[in-house]
């Protein structure tokens, strides 16, 4: 009798505890829901760069990709741009590239910014925010590391240092 009571109570408490734990977990991960998920394939997209050349993410399979979302008004984005540029030059022949997606700004604003910082990597124009919506981008800058199989291996939001960028790019080197 006593054993049975203990069992029933334990089972009920476990069930309730599991429901609470799930709710808390779901609540804290709800902002990541449907966002491109680490460990899964990066949502494919195709965007034009400043020269009108089309870049399709799946065409980059076989090499590592640093996918960076940025805006010209965003200070931390601006700060990490020179680092990205340096590392782009270092890694471009080692099979890791950088794709920098600008979020729906005017061509002029992007061009002036790119000229000012002598950016060499392709800057993609997400004119109607489609890719931004697909990746559910919140605060900028947001950086995804995609490996040679097209899988997301890392996500970072906030400014990156040059060392961090180097480290990230090493990780996806084919």
Chain residues that interact with other proteins, rule: CB under 8 A = 1-2, 5-6, 9-10, 12-13, 16, 19-20, 22-24, 26-28, 30, 33-34, 43-47, 56, 71-73, 103-109, 111-112, 124, 126, 128-131, 133-134
Nearest-approach distance from CB 89 to other proteins, in angstroms: 26
What is the rounded CA–CA span in Å between residue 35 and residue 24?
Answer: 19
Q: Indicate the SS3 state at residue 5.
A: helix
Are the beta carbons of 88 and 121 closer than 8 angstroms?
yes
What are 110's two structure tokens? 């992007």
- CB of residue 102 vs other proteins: minimum separation in angstroms? 9
We find the least distance from the C-beta atom of residue 38 to other proteins, in angstroms, to be 16
Nearer to other proteins, 13 or 149 (CB): 13
CA distance 170 to 153: 12
Q: Write down the least CB distance from residue 58 to other proteins, Å.
A: 8
- Residue 59: CB minimum distance to other proteins, A: 11
In whole angstroms, give the CA distance from residue 105 to residue 125. 8
Contacts 24+ apart (CB under 8 A), 166-171: 166/87, 166/90, 168/66, 168/143, 169/64, 169/66, 169/87, 169/90, 169/91, 169/96, 169/145, 171/64, 171/145, 171/147
Q: Which is nearer to other proteins, 31 or 93 (CB)?
A: 31
12 vs 117, beta carbon nearer other proteins: 12
Q: Taking a C-beta distance cutoff of 8 angstroms, is the pair 115, 107 a contact?
A: no
Cβ distance to other proteins smaller for residue 74 or 153: 74
Q: Nearer to other proteins by C-beta: 50 or 95?
A: 50
């Amino acid at each position: 009798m006593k054993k049975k009571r203990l069992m029933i109570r334990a089972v009920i408490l476990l069930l309730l505890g599991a429901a609470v734990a799930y709710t808390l977990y779901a609540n804290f991960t709800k902002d990541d829901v449907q966002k491109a998920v680490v460990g899964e394939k990066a949502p494919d997209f195709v965007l034009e760069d400043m020269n009108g050349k089309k870049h399709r993410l799946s065409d980059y399979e076989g090499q590592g990709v640093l996918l960076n979302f940025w805006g010209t008004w965003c200070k931390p984005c601006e700060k990490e741009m020179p680092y990205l540029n340096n590392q782009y030059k270092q890694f471009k022949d080692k099979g890791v590239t950088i794709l920098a997606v600008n979020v729906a700004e005017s061509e002029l604003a992007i061009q002036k910014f790119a000229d000012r910082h002598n950016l060499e990597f392709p800057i993609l124009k997400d004119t109607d925010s489609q890719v931004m919506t697909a990746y559910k981008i919140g605060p900028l800058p947001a950086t995804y590391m995609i490996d040679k199989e097209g899988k997301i291996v890392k996500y970072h939001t906030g400014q990156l240092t040059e060392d961090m960028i180097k480290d990230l790019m090493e990780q996806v080197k084919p």
